[in-house]
Structure 1
Amino acid sequence: MQQKTITTDVLDIAYREYGAPDGWPCIMGHGFPYDVNAYAETAPLIAQAGARVLVPWLRGYGPTRFRSAATLRSGEQAALGADLLAFMDALRIERAVVGGYDWGGRAACVVSVLHPERVIGLVSGNSYNIQNIARSMEPASPPEEAALWYQYLFHNERGRRALERNRKGFARQLWSMWSPTWAFDDATFETSAASFDNPDFVDVVIHSYRHRYALVEGDPAYAAFEAKLAAQPQVGVPTIAIDGDSDGVNPGTAHHAPKFEAFFERRVFAGAGHNLPQERPAEWARAVLDVRAAGQE
């Protein structure tokens, strides 16, 4: 494993690379509030199957940095997708297996629907991860609303101050609630929590959870992307979607199946919560290899 950095128009993106440089490309994205260590066990397994596995720190995390102080610290879905596409362009990767969960899964879904010609196959935690912002103010069931307490807190300035003062405390609370069966230790958490010390972490997180409810404007640079995503486009690339049956923030996504037009398979990881690749590394790696095979048929 090597840590490297690649420059795009907007970011200096830090990433980990596993496997041979001439291996088949595989890009995996982490979520909030996690980091690249979610793939510390999974990526080597995929690399053993001949892949060049690339795991970038998202904007606002770890060593990844914005190149200009003037750039809006946006966490909107279009920005995440644009970052992934720019990452591929900077590394001259024409097509790759892409995947992730939470924010990373959202970026992979965005690229898959807007640029399917760049995607061999998609592995998506919680299936169709593209936000329907136009319907974001429609209430959900009481249990679902209760699980989203952190998002509503981040909608106001009290929430911003709370995250600024105790970003690790909030992250650990969410880890525990979202993966109730995952017995992670202090060292495991602290290894990832170092990534939340990024100077843009709070701004990106707050913008993300406000933009998805149309409470703030997005970055005009991504307006065209967001306009296309507003149509809730179908996914036309081979996909394996994954849920954990003990996910404390997402109740399951079996109802998302109609959004996928090509090869589609939904898997449920028994006893797993929200951080799917870190909780079930071998099963996640198997999904990557299987969706690549489907993309080559």
Structure 2
Amino acid sequence: MIISYVQGTKLTFAYEHHGPTTGAPVILLHGFPYSPRAYDEIAPALAAQGYRVIVPYLRGYGPTRFNSPDTLRSGQQAALAQDLLDLMDALAIPQATLCGYDWGGRAACIVAALWPERVRGLVTGDGYNLQNIPGSIQPLDPETEHRLWYQYYFHTARGVEGLTQNRRAFCELLWRLWSPTWARNAERYPLSAPAFDNPDFVEVVIHSYRHRFMYVAGDPALEWMEEALAKQPPISVPTISLCGADDGVGPAPEADEDVEHFTGRYERRVLAGVGHNIPEEAPEATIKALLDLLKADLLKG
């Protein structure tokens, strides 16, 4: 595994590259609390078919670093999307097929919604991942609120200190809770855990979970994007949504509640026996979804 670096406007991105640089670009995006290790079985398989595969470390993870100590360590959704655009620009990628889940899925969905010309196709974990921040004041049903306990914990000073002192144990607990039927948690978690030692990890994570409930301000330069996202714009690019039937934080409902947000070619696939860590738990299903989009796009010309 070789890590490369490229400088963007706010970050120096660390990323893993697979396949020929001349291949059609595919960008694979991890979530919280995960890492590029989620795509260990996926990136080489796509590269073997001639695709240029980029697997970045998100802000606050692994060797990715902020360029300035004065930059807000924001974890808001608009910052993640802007990072993806900056990475594509820094690597001179005008258009790519995107795959992401959790935070990475949010970045991919936002870019697909607001900059559809930059996206050939989208594989999204758990459907429409744009946060409805103005609506966050409305309570959810008690079972859903219970599953979101960690978010409310992060709203407190105790939560900040808890994540600071126990980041590896805390994130391992989330892995087990969110992928309760996956037999490889204990085997795979140690491969991703070092990515959480990034010096900005805690600050970015805390900001993310406070901003989405309007408890902290975001980056003023990104306010225009947050205003656009508050309108819940549709996604028009060809999309396949992969949902884990055993997801411990957001189990897939029987009815597709996101279909109205997709105006282009769209398909939802519910994966039995799969939790929140979709690409790592279900690499074959993820590869198939990507290739179904890529091959269809190729045939379309």
Could you say which TM-score interval applies, normalised by the shorter chain?
over 0.9
Higher deviation after alignment, 24-33 or 245-254: 245-254
In the alignment, which residue of structure 1 is the partner of 2:259? 257
In the alignment, which residue of structure 2 is the partner of 1:92? 92
Amino acid at match of 2:90: A
| Count of aligned pairs | 297
- On the 8 A contact 1:2/1:18 being kept in 2, the answer is no
Amino acid at match of 1:85: L
Matches within 5 A, 1:38-57: 38-57=38-57
- On the 8 A contact 1:263/1:294 being kept in 2, the answer is no
Secondary structure (helix, strand or coil) at the match of 1:218 reads: coil
Alpha-carbon spacing, 1:39–1:226, altered in 2? closer, same or farther (3 Å): same
Amino acid at match of 2:123: V
- Deviations along 1:35-86, whole A, 9 cap, x unmatched? 0000011111121222111000000000000000000000000000000000
Distance 1:241 1:185 in 2: 23
- Deviations along 1:173-201, whole A, 9 cap, x unmatched? 10000001111254521110000000000
Amino acid at match of 2:121: G
- Deviations along 1:220-246, whole A, 9 cap, x unmatched? 121111111111000010000010110
Distance 1:15 1:170 in 2: 25
- On the 8 A contact 2:176/2:185 being kept in 1, the answer is no
In the alignment, which residue of structure 1 is the partner of 2:191? 191
For structure 2, the 5+ residue unaligned runs are none
In the alignment, which residue of structure 1 is the partner of 2:286? 284
In the alignment, which residue of structure 2 is the partner of 1:79? 79
- Deviations along 1:108-139, whole A, 9 cap, x unmatched? 00100110000000000000000000000111
Amino acid at match of 2:19: G
Say whether 1:165 aligns with 2:171: no
In the alignment, which residue of structure 2 is the partner of 1:246? 246
Secondary structure (helix, strand or coil) at the match of 1:85 reads: helix
Distance 1:3 1:65 in 2: 13
Distance 2:270 2:293 in 1: 15
Distance 2:234 2:295 in 1: 21
- On the 8 A contact 2:13/2:87 being kept in 1, the answer is yes
Alpha-carbon spacing, 1:200–1:94, altered in 2? closer, same or farther (3 Å): same
Amino acid at match of 1:5: Y
TM-score by length of 1: 0.98
Amino acid at match of 1:283: A
Distance 2:62 2:2 in 1: 15
TM-score by length of 2: 0.97
For structure 1, the 5+ residue unaligned runs are none
Distance 2:250 2:50 in 1: 33
**1:213 Cα deviation after fit:** 0.5
The Cα RMSD (Å) is 1.1
Matches within 5 A, 1:1-297: 1-184=1-184, 186-252=186-252, 254-296=256-298, 297=300
Distance 2:232 2:275 in 1: 26
Higher deviation after alignment, 222-231 or 254-263: 222-231
**1:295 Cα deviation after fit:** 3.6
Distance 1:93 1:152 in 2: 38
Distance 1:59 1:183 in 2: 29
Q: Identical aligned pairs, as a percentage? A: 53
